[in-house]
């Protein structure tokens, strides 16, 4: 079971455990991935000019290890991508992940956390990490329309050749967020059963218990 890779409450804007809610059902490695942003009560993700990265609520926020493990891959040198404020992505990216960290948690269980802030990584390949440890900051590197955290679990180290795995979370809270439709006009997936270990698009989510920092 995994914890959410951030402090506070964020909104799921992509992801779920079935085809209708999936981040990218046709891409096996990202089938059960999630994208997270910080959203205000009006359904907005920034204050002011949407082309200015620093105006986004989640930009520069701390990213946490979702479980104990060992860092097996990481990149920290890509610049933030441009944000146009209209849903388009920067055409000049070199890696869709941007800056990222891959953590091995067990046999055939690897987490990938992507779109990290340049030069914000606090860990390197070979480092052991603990659940809740601060490992980086949220940025806008890679293939992204605006700052957010991309998080997925896969059965191998390779981002391209692995299969994505459904993620069971523990000790979390979630509820539908008001005015989500102002951010995303897509129909919402059907509600999850109470006590479900899964999360999905349109929900406000957060860890219940406090966790140690590095």
Under 8 Å between Cβ of 141 and 115: yes
pLDDT tens-digit map of 71-123: 999 999 999 999 998 888 988 888 999 999 999 999 999 999 999 999 999 99
Domains of the chain, with CATH numbers?
Answer: 1-213 (2.70.70.10)
pLDDT tens-digit map of 27-57: 899 999 999 999 999 999 999 999 999 999 9
Q: Which residue shows structure tokens 């800056």?
A: 99
pLDDT tens-digit map of 166-213: 999 999 999 999 999 999 999 999 999 988 999 999 999 999 975 444
Specify the pTM: 0.94
Nearest to 163 by CA among 172, 173, 154: 154
């Amino acid at each position: 079971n995994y914890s959410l890779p951030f402090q506070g409450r964020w909104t799921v804007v992509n992801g779920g455990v079935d085809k209708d809610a999936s981040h990218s059902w046709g891409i096996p490695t990202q089938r059960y991935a999630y994208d997270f942003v910080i959203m205000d009560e009006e359904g907005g993700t920034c204050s002011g000019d949407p082309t200015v990265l620093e105006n986004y609520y989640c930009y520069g926020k701390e990213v946490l290890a979702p479980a104990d493990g060992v860092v097996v891959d990481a990149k920290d040198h890509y610049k933030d991508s441009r944000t146009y404020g209209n849903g388009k992505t920067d055409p000049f990216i070199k890696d869709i992940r941007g800056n990222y960290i891959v953590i091995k948690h067990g046999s055939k269980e690897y987490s990938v956390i992507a779109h990290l802030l340049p030069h914000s990584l606090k860990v390197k390949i070979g480092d052991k990490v603990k659940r809740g440890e601060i490992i980086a900051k949220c940025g806008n590197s890679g293939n992204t329309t605006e700052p957010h955290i991309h998080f997925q679990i896969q059965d191998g180290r390779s981002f391209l050749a692995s299969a994505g795995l459904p993620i069971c979370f523990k000790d979390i809270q979630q509820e539908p967020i008001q005015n989500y439709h102002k951010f995303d006009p897509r129909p919402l997936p059907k509600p999850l059963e109470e006590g479900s270990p899964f999360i999905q698009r349109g929900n406000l989510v957060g860890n219940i218990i406090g966790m140690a920092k590095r």
